Amino acid sequence: MSSKAVTRADAGLASTLRVAVLRLRRRLVNEHAPDNDLSIGSMAVLGALAKGGEATIGELAAHERVQPPSMTRIVGCLADGGYVERRASDTDRRQVIVAITEKGRATLEADKRRREEWLARRLAALTPQERAILRAAAPVLEKLATSE
């Protein structure tokens, strides 16, 4: 296979992958439990805090790939609901340290299964081989999403 052929094959892969990701994301958003008052983005921030510990607004914005004002808003909503707490950094009082609360952690755990119910059900309907493929693909997708 020539280098040009590889490039062409990857262009096709990019196309397919792109469409699949966009459609799947739309399904995930649509199936998002409506009795959950936290948006998908907010839950992602809670997840990041639960996994990585405290973080500044800037760090969260970079991690979630949104602009700082967007993260200010998300964290504001989370703080209003008591899911996170904000405090000024000791070393640099411009920085705002965000930490997940017990309520946030409990909400994250409680909602985790429910929020993923739709996807888990769809995964259960796949063949074991298809699930194995996705298990292998998930970290690669994550790598793509966070590259550079």
Partner DNA sequence: TATTGTTATACTCTATAACTATA
Partner DNA sequence: TATAGTTATAGAGTATAACAATA
Among 4, 5, 11, 83, the residue binding a second copy under the rule CB under 8 A is 11
CB 46 within 8 A of CB 38: yes
Note whether 138 binds a second copy by CB under 8 A: yes
Q: Which stretch binds DNA (CB under 7 A): 74-82, 101-109, 114-122, 124-132?
A: 74-82
Pairing label, strands 55-56, 96-100: antiparallel
3-state secondary structure of 97: strand
Cα–Cα dist 139/137, whole Å: 6
What is the maximal distance between C-alpha atoms in the chain? 58
* From 15-23, 53-61, 88-96, 99-107, span contacting a second copy (CB under 8 A): 15-23
Q: Name the nearest CA neighbour of 39 among 111, 97, 124, 95.
A: 111
Judged by beta carbon, residue 67 or residue 127, the one nearer DNA is 67
Binding a second copy by CB under 8 A: which of 28, 50, 62, 79? 28
Q: Which of 92, 86, 83 is nearest to 72 (CA)?
A: 86
Q: Which is nearer to a second copy, 41 or 81 (CB)?
A: 41
Kindly tell me which residue out of 28, 47, 48, 70 binds DNA, with binding defined by CB under 7 A: 70
Does position 40 interact with DNA (CB under 7 A)? The reply is yes
Cβ closest to DNA, residue 15 vs residue 130: 15
